[in-house]
Each structure stands twice: as structure tokens, then as C-alpha cells.
Amino acid sequence: MAGRERRPGARLAIFAAAAAGCAGPSYSAYPLDLPGGVPAHAFAVCRDALAARFGALVTVDAAAFLLQTDWVACADLPGERRASVFRQIDGAVAGLGVVVEVRRLTEPLLGLPRWTAPRGDAAAERELADLLRAAINP
């Protein structure tokens, strides 16, 4: 999206999957717009919600507002998910971005099982964004 400014930490979260060598098109985070901007308590609320839903957090950076979970097993498919939440600025409006990635375990005919390249899970992102919005603005 043209004109969008992001902090270096936010770019890291968005493109974490691409660093693994994914050659697919870029993926945009699901926007979590908050009327009036991001409140002071939002980081703690997001941190607690992610930890409760996904377990271990591997990145917790309050200064950059960057949170990322470890990969956790999916109950609904043979694979894993991880989530990232970060501050994103679009023009003069600050909001949060939500990314939920999924990767699946595949077994080729020849060779060892391996993980697919991570891909965005739009339904899980919407669900997580709704959860966070309700927790931030009760």
C-alpha cells in the first residue's frame, strides 16, 4: 500500500515468513483499527491474549510494539500456526497489524517429511483481531 510507513520491527514481523525463502507474493497484515489510536494498555492486553491463545511468545518488544508467538500445533489440521501483532501507521492513523501464519507438514513420495512455506491464515487473523479489539476496548 503506497505511502504506508512502518517501523523496522513491524517489517520484521510481516516478512518473517518470507525470510524462510518463500517466493510467493507479499502478504499484508490484517489491520486492527482502533478508534482514537492505540491506547497505552494495548501492548499488555495483546501480550496476555496471545500468550493465553498460542502459548510461548518468542518476541516481546514493547518499545517497537512487536509480539510474536512460537509455532504451535493446530487442532484442525496437521500443521502449526504462529501469530504476530505489531504497530502499523497508515498516514496519520496508528493501528495494529495482525498476522497469523500456518505451515503444514508434507510427506513427499521420496524424501523426508518437511514443512510447507508459511502462508497467511485470513480467517484466523480476523478471529484474532476480533478477540484483541474486544479485549482492548471492553
Which secondary structure element, helix H or strand E, spans residue 130, and what is its range? Answer: helix 122-136
Query: CATH says 8-18+29-136 is which class?
Result: alpha beta
> Given this model, what pLDDT does residue 14 score?
41
Report the SS3 class of residue 124.
helix
Beta strands in 12-122 (DSSP E): 30-32, 57-61, 66-69, 72-73, 79-90, 93-106, 114-115, 119-120
> Given this model, what pLDDT does residue 27 score?
74
> Given this model, what pLDDT does residue 58 score?
97
Residue 96, burial from CB neighbour count under 10 angstroms (0-12, 13-18, 19+): buried
> Given this model, what pLDDT does residue 92 score?
63
Share of the chain above pLDDT 70, in %: 79
Cβ atoms of 96 and 86 closer than 8 Å: yes
> Given this model, what pLDDT does residue 25 score?
59
- Position 17 pLDDT exceeds 50: no
Domain map of the chain by residue range?
Answer: 8-18+29-136
- Position 52 pLDDT exceeds 90: yes
> Given this model, what pLDDT does residue 57 score?
96
**Residue range 103-125: mean pLDDT, rounded:** 90
Whole-model pTM: value is 0.75
